[in-house]
Amino acid sequence: MFTFIAGQPTKHGTPMAAVTLQRIRATLRRALNMAIRDGLLQINPARVVLLPRPQRHRPQPWTTARVKEWRCDGQCPAVAVWTPAQLAGFLVFVRDDSLFALWWLTALPGLRRGELCALRWTDVDLAEGRLTVSQQIAHVRGRPYLDWPKTATGHRTIAMDTATNAVLRRHQRCQRLAA
């Protein structure tokens, strides 16, 4: 089955990634473990399936040399991150954008996209300088729904620095004025 799946191209025409095969195997193992628990199976055959190890891509900063190479031949790292100077330049560029607080929270406290989209003012304590992640927006078949964070550590409280607090206070004032 995995040989067949691995031979199928993705919707973009690229070969199936090893990490995708690992995720399929994990889902299958979970389902078969439930069948064992229910007395339908004695062993889990998915346990013995050997799959290629996924390649872990380490973040590479967009150095001057890497930017120059990218402009010449279009080649870029699988995971590329901005340098602090590039991030600061982006934040200066978008400072008057109505979504500036979103860009700020994406860049600095490290919130995930689904966590940002599910963030409510009740999750933000400006007086204490805290932000609580208690939900996220997830997608199934292209449809968004509200969900809990994937893991227990995903549910967390983040201390906000004074600059982040000021950005959120300004954003809240703008929202109130617009309403």
pLDDT band at 75 (very low <50, low <70, confident <90, very high): confident
| Strand-strand pairing, 60-61 and 80-81 | parallel
Q: Using one digit for the tens of pLDDT, what is the confidence trace for 133-156?
A: 999 999 988 899 999 988 888 899
pLDDT band at 57 (very low <50, low <70, confident <90, very high): confident
Residues 167-179 have a mean pLDDT of 94
What pLDDT does 126 receive?
97
Per the prediction, the chain carries an average pLDDT of: 92
Residues 106-110 have a mean pLDDT of 83
Domain positions in the chain are 2-48, 81-178
What pLDDT does 56 receive?
84
For residue 73, is pLDDT > 90?
yes
Q: What is the pTM of this model?
A: 0.69
Alpha-carbon dihedral sign for residues 7, 11, 14, 20: negative
Cα separation, 24 vs 177, in Å, equals: 48
Q: Using one digit for the tens of pLDDT, what is the confidence trace for 62-71?
A: 999 999 999 9
What pLDDT does 117 receive?
93
For residue 120, is pLDDT > 90?
yes
CATH architecture for the domain at 81-178: Orthogonal Bundle (1.10)
Q: Using one digit for the tens of pLDDT, what is the confidence trace for 15-28?
A: 888 989 999 999 99
Instruction: Return the number of other C-beta atoms located less than 10 Å from residue 160's C-beta.
Output: 21
Quick one: CA torsion of 123, 126, 130, 136, rounded to 10 degrees? 20
